[in-house]
């Protein structure tokens, strides 16, 4: 289904030149974007994309910048920061409610709305920074759950033909940290409808507390980072990675514990592989492989993207050498 562009009185678009992207990422790393648009409406977005076409420059869609490593050299194109922020409950069915949410809304805000309205299905998202658009793009998840469990439909702007389109759940083609939006960069997510179930508030709060405590205990939240650098690889059998992989603290058990979603009995925690290579605490420049969680690289203050990349390459090399496993990055690069 295609939606027509509604008539809209007046634009609101912030347009700037040479903007430091460092301040728009949770890593606090990165150079300048040549142009920077903050878009709040559909019309803003069309203008931004048209400007890119006119100037023959590439564009990059920026959400909360929490899964992103921006090059020290910056971006010779147009960074489009999604800032639409409408959020409302759509229907009042007895068992389920639909939440309409624009892509620029922070995940924390929609979790709050769900708690207030006694809706379950989003507890796992507590503590994940970033926007709803970014979370749908990468099918963000934790504790065996992900966006794919609650998304009903997604509205996009197709930058190729400048039409607004609705992607129903099936068309989103969600997979482990994957979606059609990740594969087709011409699709810019504008809004999402979530389907959530009713639940007692006390139960929701209990689940949220459990998820938060788990994260606080295991993640280096005191330093800037982009979350887990690598995806958890899968397709391995117990014992394949040596005797240690049979223990209760094995890579399989660690992955199943719920830090990542969709882990099966063959999924290995990337953090375990990195730790077993003795890489925890390794520092290059001002970037460090966290001692608390080996799949996090933290910025000790003034880390550069090139330091982080060196650590990423070192991890990939050592894990491949020791286990024969090639890790795949979860974070996006600009």
Give 193 or 241: the residue with its C-beta nearer to ligand FAD.
Answer: 193
CB 20 → ligand FAD: shortest distance, Å? 15
CB 322 → ligand FAD: shortest distance, Å? 26
Closest-CA residue to 273 (of 215, 331, 323, 328): 323
Which of 151, 188, 271, 315 contacts ligand FAD by CB under 6 A? 188
Where in 63-182 does DSSP place strands (E)?
68-69, 75-82, 87-89, 96-102, 119-120, 141-142, 145-146, 151-158, 163-168
Taking CB under 6 A as the rule, does residue 19 contact ligand FAD? no
Taking CB under 6 A as the rule, does residue 21 contact ligand FAD? no
The rounded distance, in Å, linking the Cα atoms of 182 and 179 is: 5
To the query of whether residue 228 is one of the catalytic residues in this protein, the response is yes
Catalytic residue among 177, 191, 275, 304: 177
The rounded distance, in Å, linking the Cα atoms of 117 and 251 is: 37
Give 30 or 130: the residue with its C-beta nearer to ligand FAD.
Answer: 130
The rounded distance, in Å, linking the Cα atoms of 274 and 219 is: 15
Taking CB under 6 A as the rule, does residue 30 contact ligand FAD? no
Integer angstrom CA distances of residue 152 from 96, 167, 285: 12, 9, 44
Residue 319 and residue 236 in contact, taking contact as beta carbons nearer than 8 Å? no
To the query of whether residue 177 is one of the catalytic residues in this protein, the response is yes
Taking CB under 6 A as the rule, does residue 62 contact ligand FAD? yes
Closest-CA residue to 309 (of 297, 295, 300): 297
Give 131 or 245: the residue with its C-beta nearer to ligand FAD.
Answer: 131
Catalytic residue among 66, 228, 263, 290: 228
Taking CB under 6 A as the rule, does residue 295 contact ligand FAD? no
Residue 46 and residue 157 in contact, taking contact as beta carbons nearer than 8 Å? yes
Taking CB under 6 A as the rule, does residue 66 contact ligand FAD? yes
Which of 74, 130, 233, 251 contacts ligand FAD by CB under 6 A? 130
To the query of whether residue 304 is one of the catalytic residues in this protein, the response is no
Which of 33, 82, 151, 294 contacts ligand FAD by CB under 6 A? 82
Taking CB under 6 A as the rule, does residue 189 contact ligand FAD? yes
Classified as helix, coil or strand, 222 is coil
For the annotated catalytic residues, the residue numbers are 177, 228, 330
């Amino acid at each position: 289904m295609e939606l027509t562009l509604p008539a809209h009185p007046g634009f609101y678009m912030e347009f700037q030149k040479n903007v430091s992207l460092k301040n728009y990422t949770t890593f606090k790393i990165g150079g300048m974007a040549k142009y920077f648009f903050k878009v709040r409406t559909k019309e803003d977005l069309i203008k931004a994309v048209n400007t890119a076409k006119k100037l023959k420059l590439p564009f990059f869609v920026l959400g909360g910048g929490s899964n992103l490593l921006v090059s020290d050299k910056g971006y010779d194109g147009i960074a489009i920061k999604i800032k639409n922020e409408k959020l409302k409950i759509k229907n009042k069915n007895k068992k389920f409610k639909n939440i309409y949410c624009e892509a620029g809304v922070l995940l924390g805000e929609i979790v709050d709305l769900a708690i207030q309205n006694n809706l379950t299905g989003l507890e796992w998202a507590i503590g994940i920074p970033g926007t709803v658009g970014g979370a749908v793009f990468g099918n963000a998840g934790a504790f065996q759950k992900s966006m794919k469990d609650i998304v009903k439909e997604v509205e996009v702007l197709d930058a190729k033909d400048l039409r607004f389109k609705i992607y129903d759940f099936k068309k989103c083609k969600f997979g482990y940290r994957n979606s059609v939006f990740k594969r087709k960069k011409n699709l810019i997510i504008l809004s999402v409808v979530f389907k959530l179930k009713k639940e007692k508030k006390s139960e929701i709060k209990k689940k949220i507390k459990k998820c938060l405590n788990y994260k606080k205990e295991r993640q280096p939240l005191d330093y800037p980072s982009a979350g887990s650098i690598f995806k958890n690889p899968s397709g391995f059998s117990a014992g394949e990675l040596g005797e240690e992989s049979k223990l209760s603290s094995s890579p399989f058990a660690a992955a199943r514990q719920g830090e990542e979603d969709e882990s099966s009995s063959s999924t290995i925690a990337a953090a375990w592989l990195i730790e077993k290579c003795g890489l925890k605490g390794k520092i290059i420049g001002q970037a460090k492989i966290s001692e608390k969680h080996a799949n996090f690289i933290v910025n000790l203050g003034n880390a550069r993207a090139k330091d982080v990349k060196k650590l990423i390459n070192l991890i990939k090399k050592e894990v491949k050498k020791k286990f024969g496993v090639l890790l795949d990055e979860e974070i996006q690069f600009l």
